Chains A and B, each alone.
Chain A
Amino acid sequence: MTRPPDRPEPEPAGAALAGEDYPAEAAQTPAARLAAYIRGGGIIVPLLTALLAFLTAGLVMLFTGHDPLATYRAIFEGTGLQWLFPWVTGEDRVTAALNLQQTLIITTPLILTGLAVAFAFRAGLFNIGGQGQYVMGSIAAVWVGSSFGGMPGILHILLAIAAACLAGAAWAGIAGLLKATVGANEVISTIMLNYTAIYVGLWLFGLGGPLQNDREATLPVSNDIVEGAKLPVFWGDPVLQGLHIGLFVALLAAVAFWALLNRSTTGYEVRAVGLNPEAARYGGMSVGRNYLLVMAVCGLFAGLAGSLDILGWQFRLATNDIQAGTVGFTGIAVALLGRSTASGTVAAALLFGALFSGTSQRNLDPSIFEPELAGNLIPIIQGLVVLLVSADVLVLSLLRRGRGMLQPGRASRRALGGREGDA
């Protein structure tokens, strides 16, 4: 009944439409806040958020004595996105193609770890455990992929992927189960499970570990997966790390995410639980069961990401990869920037994938782009995105200054079908 006196509701259009009731007086779950945020500014706000992040990062470069424009240009060329321009020809086009393949290879798992966080957001949960779920998926995939040598290729791939999905789902399911049964905060439990997953990996593949490779006892690496378990490359040279078909799997997963959430009774329950758990219970849903289910689905997405990386281009798992990996964590920024919608997550994953490949050591021109800068630029931009998205209120109010551009009332009147601007 009593709300903390933080801020009055400066939501003019909402107030007018809701009549005398002060709007937003129901308990604000994260998902409800997200819903308000999604309504707030269409596609403008995430674009503005990204733009602000880039501008601020540019200022950092400027103050550290670099030329932001030249740097961003170099990054863009490193992404290979200019391949899309028909006027890029000859040698440039060949290089661009190679770079774009790298960009998309990195984008693939980011789409999935983004979905892993986004799905939880939509149910009012915060899945920080994408990294651990990704690692568990990788472990399962590399184990299955490097065993069963005689299996037919397709079956082997499907088996490895299924094992990875299950491993990720089970791992995240632990957090879901704890949340559903004893109310343990999923933020804490997923963070803890990240560490656990990483150390399980270090032990399995470390020196003397049970899954360490059979050939080189001094290397803390897994066995290589067998040739038949590798995902086919459909663009570029398999030897030069061409683009594997995992990209389509990730895009399919995004479509499945959208359909599950917006078109299935399960998704209806998930969204209801996320927006108002009390109303969900009143509607006859089991909130706890949904928490468990949602976390398992999140883990499935992240585990799938792990398997695609292993079967697509890594082919083996080394302990230092496990330790240094950030794909799961970047998924948080991807989901935030993509506003937990399917299409938004794909777009945000592409942005971060491009950033990673554009700043990767391979594409550097050391005269513009020192390695120190390259290595630190992504974390800066990523951090800024998370910060700015968290400060959504700030971005929205900046936007409102401009006035007239957005009319929340109108945005809220979109028809039922695809109202999140997903499709």
Chain B
Amino acid sequence: MPIEAPALELRGITKRFGPVVANDRVDFDLKRGEVHALLGENGAGKSTLMSILYGLYKPDEGEIRIDGEPVEVDSPAKAIELGIGMVHQHFMLVQVMTVTENIVLGAEPRRGGLLDVREGVRRVRELSDRYGLAVDPDAVIEDVTVGAQQRAEILRALYRDARILVLDEPTAVLTAQEADELFQVLRALRDGGVAIVFISHKLGEVLEIANRVTVLRRGRKIDTVPAAGATEQSLARLMVGREVLLRVEKPEGKPAGPALEVEDLHVRDDRALETVRGVSLTVRAGEIVALAGVDGNGQQELVEAIAGLRRPESGQIRVAGEEVGSAGVRDTCDAGVAHIAEDRQLRGLVLDFTLAENLALREYRSPPLSRHGWLSIGRMNSRARSLLREYDVRGGDPGTLASSLSGGNQQKVCIAREIASNPHLLIAHQPTRGLDVGAIEFVHRRLVTERDKGRGILLVSLESEEVRSLADRILVIYEGAIVGEFPPEASEEELGVAMTGGGAGQAAA
């Protein structure tokens, strides 16, 4: 029997956008029944490559083969026809329609010209049973969890008979538990003969799920290695091109007086549900306190209350001794609170503003950036220039639009602005979300530096790895209350138990 052709082969793919070469003669192959990870920093060309595969972009050079046959993929419709399924990082689901309706959308089972809902539900059930993709076919998308939405996306691809499944950073939106469930599904799919491309920049999960790993760097393929035998350190080196510190090295902290004191804080969310229920905590100057917890346990509202974005129901917030309880954002900032927002694109930046304008967001009202209500463009630019240099923001000058920077550089802009306001308290809410290892290293180092300068840092993170390596103290939040305090040496299991409500009552000091 001849050697079976790979399910998918990309040969010498080159894609240029003007002067930028996003993909430079990239080769990639995928066998039936394997998970092949595509690893690279933000901007390395992973998504561009997969967009070419999915017919969103046309390559300038190169060839795509499926089962050994050269094919032309000129549209997503063609890709689907060729058995390629794509699960985007940002789901393409209609919020108000049911799971089944979303899955069959565009390929509806019909009876007499009408949508055959029952047939649709039956086929969705069948697929979901076969691969262990638990969904409620009749639930409306906006009511189900993010994990379930993702499973619906995968089902949608399978429903269209996808034999090649591309997942773009699928774990970015999932909790650790949901990610584990996803991996089980992927293994089932793999064993069922589906070939899977797994795009990620998280080293740990790549090693866990992938059979082989292809590393891209600046548009070029660096190497393809078997996952067995690779380590996080070796992959990071391939990815970044130099040795990377995966653990933060930090000297012993020297905490001083309190930078933030929160007492018996109660906060309601937009739906008027009380999601912060009597939180008390202290962050001292010169220490990093991490707030660990599963997403949706009140972190969002707690951070917003401290940052002045949300009015607390009751309780007290003091910054460096000054009460800021229900002051607005502006007064809270003036009292010395800086806030690295969780979502830099939705809140932290005005994407269509220039970097100089974005860097002025906190201080545009006062000299030297403005006088008597008139902006000083020159000073905004020169201040931006020095901040961009200090924080090593690449790919932009003061006149560049924020939207044209990569995620890591956007985050550096946010961090630069917040630290430049010289705060007593720096709230870092998911400061490394969606960043690659190089940028994560930068952010972590910077937070430690600022701690050592005597700022209090409240780190809110879903990554227990990050929490344990950065924090001087760890507070666990569960259902809107602090359920335990742990030293950074606490084990992953200990934290995990507390984060899911099991550790209540047995808090260690």
Stretch at the interface among B29-37, B176-184, B236-244, B395-403: B395-403
Distance in angstroms between the alpha carbons of A35 and B401 in the assembled complex: 11
Q: Which of B56, B364, B434 contacts A10 (CB 8 A)?
A: B56
CB distance from B179 to the nearest CB of A (A): 16
- CB contacts (< 8 Å) of B346 on chain A: these are 26-27, 276, 278-279
Q: Is B18 an interface residue (CB 8 A)?
A: yes
Q: Is A36 an interface residue (CB 8 A)?
A: yes
Q: A10-B56, A275-B353 are in contact. Are A20 and B93 (CB under 8 A)?
A: no
Binding site for B on A (CB under 8 A): 1-5, 8, 10, 12-27, 31-32, 35-36, 39, 263-266, 268, 271-272, 275-276, 278-284, 286, 407, 409-410, 412-417, 419
Q: Which of B173, B351, B374, B405 contacts A276 (CB 8 A)?
A: B351
Distance in angstroms between the alpha carbons of A371 and B420 in the assembled complex: 66
A-B contact pairs, 24 of them (CB 8 A): A1-B90, A1-B91, A2-B90, A2-B149, A3-B92, A4-B92, A5-B92, A5-B93, A13-B17, A15-B17, A18-B405, A19-B407, A20-B40, A265-B364, A265-B365, A268-B375, A276-B347, A279-B346, A282-B329, A284-B328, A412-B401, A412-B403, A413-B399, A416-B354
* Contact between B374 and A264, CB atoms less than 8 A apart: yes
* Contact between A407 and B18, CB atoms less than 8 A apart: yes
* Contact between A284 and B362, CB atoms less than 8 A apart: yes
CB distance from B472 to the nearest CB of A (A): 27
* Contact between A282 and B149, CB atoms less than 8 A apart: no
* Contact between B373 and A266, CB atoms less than 8 A apart: yes
Q: Is B333 an interface residue (CB 8 A)?
A: yes
- CB contacts (< 8 Å) of A266 on chain B: these are 373
CB distance from A288 to the nearest CB of B (A): 12
Nearest residue in A to B360 (C-beta to C-beta)? Answer: A268
* Contact between B349 and A5, CB atoms less than 8 A apart: no
- CB contacts (< 8 Å) of B375 on chain A: these are 263-265, 268
- CB contacts (< 8 Å) of B357 on chain A: these are 268, 416
Distance in angstroms between the alpha carbons of A21 and B381 in the assembled complex: 26
Distance in angstroms between the alpha carbons of A14 and B399 in the assembled complex: 16
Q: A14-B403, A263-B377, A284-B330 are in contact. Are A36 and B352 (CB under 8 A)?
A: yes
Distance in angstroms between the alpha carbons of A26 and B43 in the assembled complex: 19
Distance in angstroms between the alpha carbons of A275 and B401 in the assembled complex: 12
Q: Which of A1, A2, A282 contacts B309 (CB 8 A)?
A: A282
Nearest residue in B to A415 (C-beta to C-beta)? Answer: B399
* Contact between A272 and B406, CB atoms less than 8 A apart: no
- CB contacts (< 8 Å) of A5 on chain B: these are 92-94, 105
* Contact between A12 and B370, CB atoms less than 8 A apart: no
Q: Is B20 an interface residue (CB 8 A)?
A: yes
* Contact between A23 and B329, CB atoms less than 8 A apart: no
Q: A13-B17, A414-B399 are in contact. Are A283 and B361 (CB under 8 A)?
A: yes
Known contacts A19-B408, A272-B353, A283-B362; 17 further A-B pairs (Cβ under 8 A): A2-B93, A2-B141, A4-B95, A5-B92, A12-B17, A13-B18, A17-B405, A17-B406, A21-B407, A22-B88, A32-B352, A36-B352, A264-B373, A265-B375, A268-B360, A275-B353, A412-B403
- CB contacts (< 8 Å) of A268 on chain B: these are 357, 360, 364, 375
Distance in angstroms between the alpha carbons of A272 and B359 in the assembled complex: 13
Stretch at the interface among B6-14, B44-52, B313-321: B44-52
Q: Is B350 an interface residue (CB 8 A)?
A: yes
* Contact between B57 and A12, CB atoms less than 8 A apart: yes
- CB contacts (< 8 Å) of B149 on chain A: these are 2
Q: Is B231 an interface residue (CB 8 A)?
A: no
Q: Is B210 an interface residue (CB 8 A)?
A: no
Residue among A1, A410, A416, A417 facing the most chain B CB atoms (10 A cut-off)? A416
Q: Is B213 an interface residue (CB 8 A)?
A: no
Distance in angstroms between the alpha carbons of A2 and B56 in the assembled complex: 19
Q: Is B464 an interface residue (CB 8 A)?
A: no
CB distance from A286 to the nearest CB of B (A): 8
CB distance from A127 to the nearest CB of B (A): 20
- CB contacts (< 8 Å) of B132 on chain A: these are none
Nearest residue in A to B362 (C-beta to C-beta)? Answer: A283
Distance in angstroms between the alpha carbons of A126 and B474 in the assembled complex: 48
Distance in angstroms between the alpha carbons of A371 and B405 in the assembled complex: 56
* Contact between B381 and A416, CB atoms less than 8 A apart: yes
Q: Which of B141, B348, B407 contacts A282 (CB 8 A)?
A: B348
* Contact between B365 and A16, CB atoms less than 8 A apart: no
* Contact between B403 and A284, CB atoms less than 8 A apart: no
Interface mask (B347-389 → A, CB under 8 Å = 1, otherwise 0) = 1111111101100111011000010011101001100000000
Nearest residue in A to B55 (C-beta to C-beta)? Answer: A8
Nearest residue in A to B380 (C-beta to C-beta)? Answer: A416
* Contact between A265 and B373, CB atoms less than 8 A apart: yes
Q: Is B422 an interface residue (CB 8 A)?
A: no
Q: A19-B406, A419-B399 are in contact. Are A265 and B370 (CB under 8 A)?
A: yes
* Contact between B361 and A18, CB atoms less than 8 A apart: no
Nearest residue in A to B384 (C-beta to C-beta)? Answer: A416
Nearest residue in A to B44 (C-beta to C-beta)? Answer: A20
CB distance from B452 to the nearest CB of A (A): 27
- CB contacts (< 8 Å) of B93 on chain A: these are 2, 5
- CB contacts (< 8 Å) of A35 on chain B: these are 352
Q: Which of A24, A36, A278 contacts B347 (CB 8 A)?
A: A278
- CB contacts (< 8 Å) of A414 on chain B: these are 399
- CB contacts (< 8 Å) of A409 on chain B: these are 17-18, 20, 404
Q: Nearest 8 CB-CB pairs, A to B?
A: A19-B43, A19-B406, A16-B17, A284-B330, A5-B92, A35-B352, A415-B399, A17-B404
